[in-house]
Amino acid sequence: MNTKQLRQKILDLAIRGQLVPQDSSDEPASVLLEKIRAEKQTLIEQKKIKKDKKSSYITCDLSPYQKYTEHFADGSSKDITDEIPFDIPENWAWCRLGEITMINPKNNIEDNKEVSFIPMTLISDGFSNKHSYEVRLWGDVKKGFTHFQEGDIGIAKITPCFENRKSVIFSNLVNEVGAGTTELHVLRPFAYSEIKKYIYWFINTESFIQRGISHFSGAVGQQRVGKDILENTLFPLPPLSEQRRIVEKIEELLTLVDDLETNKTDLQSYINQAKSKVLEMAVRGELVPQNPDDEPASALLERIKKEQKSSKFKGKNTEHNTHYEEELPFDIPENWVWCRLGEVCEIIMGQSPKSENISKKGKLEFHQGKIFFTSKYIQSSESYTNEITKIAPKNSVLICVRAPVGEVNITNRKLCIGRGLCSIVPLQEMSEIFVYYWTKILKEKFIQKATGSTFASISIDIIRNEIIPLPPLSEQHRIVEKIEEIFSALEFIEESLI
């Protein structure tokens, strides 16, 4: 789960009543709704708002099952059970967003008053709940712009700002009043202003965003969410006390997610360092314990030497410089041995076919460099050839011998390789995965030894004569298992940061 998904999950749990525990002593949400309706009626009587002929309220009958009925101002009603998107706690209540908020209200102040002016560019996206503003006179912005005041909730109605969650609770406005882009819907909660925070997080949920997208109207590229979509959105209303606990928990958890994202680069660096440390411990015999019952690495090396002297390898440069005592960089366990890479692997340098013999059809898949390299196994190429030059056998390790020098991958199929690649073929029972990790460790050495003015490259002699510490075969398998166990855990963390 990445940080974006984590935020979405937190909000999803919040609106379902699963983020904080319910408290039986909380005043039920149904009482809160009655207070909101009473305030609306007072405002209507004071002629501050007009009576909504389309107003409605929702009731729930718990017997014999949960049945939801919506009652309208004209006395009619309908069963909306099938519209309810999910279950909520008993002391919560379903309502329409238009029942608890005024949508797109108007301000009425003197023209010479300074106010905050907020175009779309000054509203942050994501989950930041931030905005800045310019200072204007009310007389200059009261017409042709959207009105709002301190504590109102603004939400972008046009694509892609809507999907990008350009939404905000307006705060610290000049004279507590503002105007701004016409591409905003403004929500002003009735009765209790603190409801605004819970509403703000609700309109940032993935379910709300997806509902808005499904009801977009207008020309492509200029699609918008209509006011009626907001008014008719089903809203899961918790008791006021629980709203406070939910908002507090959301903000606490999202701060942790923000910290994780802020430190993502540092964490990625730590992960890379950890992987390097694991490989360093592996080559020194410090990653897994030695087993005195393991066949010594010297016996494995003798078997490999016999194999190399067979007719199969005749004429394939099997002679190596075996004098390397002065080159040994560190101590290794007693049952390990030092050797050269070419002593335990067959080294096959690539050779490119003629360009006219490379196409999208042919006998064998062709690769020239690291273009199709991944984190471990090479991807398929679209290039093939009938001119079979040099073959990298199945389950061999591929290394880039031209810039970028030292990049490594494994092939799980037979390939034709060009001059940019070299195949390292494990001998005897040695695993290609073990050789893959061992070769990755050599990358920096190969880079240092690369030569060439036009582009850096390394020769077969450099690869073949690189000294390596060889563990017993049984320990090799334990090392690979431990490396992959640790790398898997680290990669899980990496994926969660994407």
Taking CA atoms, 495 is separated from 4, 5, 234, 272, in Å, by 12, 12, 34, 13
> Cis omega (within 30 of 0) on the bond before 28?
no
- Give yes or no for a contact between 70 and 58, defined as CB atoms under 8 angstroms apart: yes
Q: Is 31 exposed, middle or buried (0-12, 13-18, 19+ CB in 10 A)?
A: middle
pLDDT value of position 326: 61
Q: Is 308 helix (H, G, I), strand (E, B) or coil?
A: helix
DSSP 225: -
Instruction: Give me the count of residues in the chain.
Output: 498
Helix or strand holding residue 79 (H, E): strand 77-79
Q: Residue 258: what residue type?
A: D
The model's pTM: 0.59
Measured between alpha carbons, how far is 245 from 493 in angstroms, rounded to an integer? 29
Residues β-bridged to residue 409: 398
Task: Show the tokens assigned to 250.
Answer: 């959301």
pLDDT value of position 324: 59
DSSP code string of 164-196 = TT-EEE--S-GGGEEEE-TTEEEEEESS-TTHH
Strand segments, DSSP code E, in 191-300 are 234-237
Half-sphere exposure of 379 (CA within 13 A, CB side): 8
Measured between alpha carbons, how far is 125 from 99 in angstroms, rounded to an integer? 27
Task: Show the tokens assigned to 129.
Answer: 């709940």
- Give yes or no for a contact between 399 and 348, defined as CB atoms under 8 angstroms apart: no
Phi–psi pair at 186, nearest 5 degrees: -120, 130
pLDDT value of position 314: 47
Measured between alpha carbons, how far is 425 from 392 in angstroms, rounded to an integer? 8
Measured between alpha carbons, how far is 426 from 470 in angstroms, rounded to an integer? 12
Query: pLDDT by residue for the chain (498 residues), tens digit each?
Result: 577 888 899 999 999 999 999 999 999 999 999 999 999 999 999 988 888 888 899 999 876 778 999 999 888 999 999 999 999 999 999 999 999 999 999 999 999 999 999 999 999 988 889 999 999 999 999 999 999 999 999 999 999 999 999 999 999 999 999 999 999 999 999 977 789 999 999 999 999 999 999 999 987 778 999 999 999 999 999 999 999 999 999 999 888 888 777 776 677 788 888 999 999 999 999 999 999 999 999 999 999 988 877 645 544 444 555 555 567 889 999 999 999 999 999 999 999 999 999 999 999 999 999 999 998 999 999 899 999 999 999 999 999 999 889 999 999 999 999 999 999 999 988 989 999 999 999 999 999 999 987 788 999 999 999 999 999 999 999 999 999 999 998 888 777 665
Closest CA to 105 of 148, 138, 44, 50: 148
Measured between alpha carbons, how far is 164 from 156 in angstroms, rounded to an integer? 9
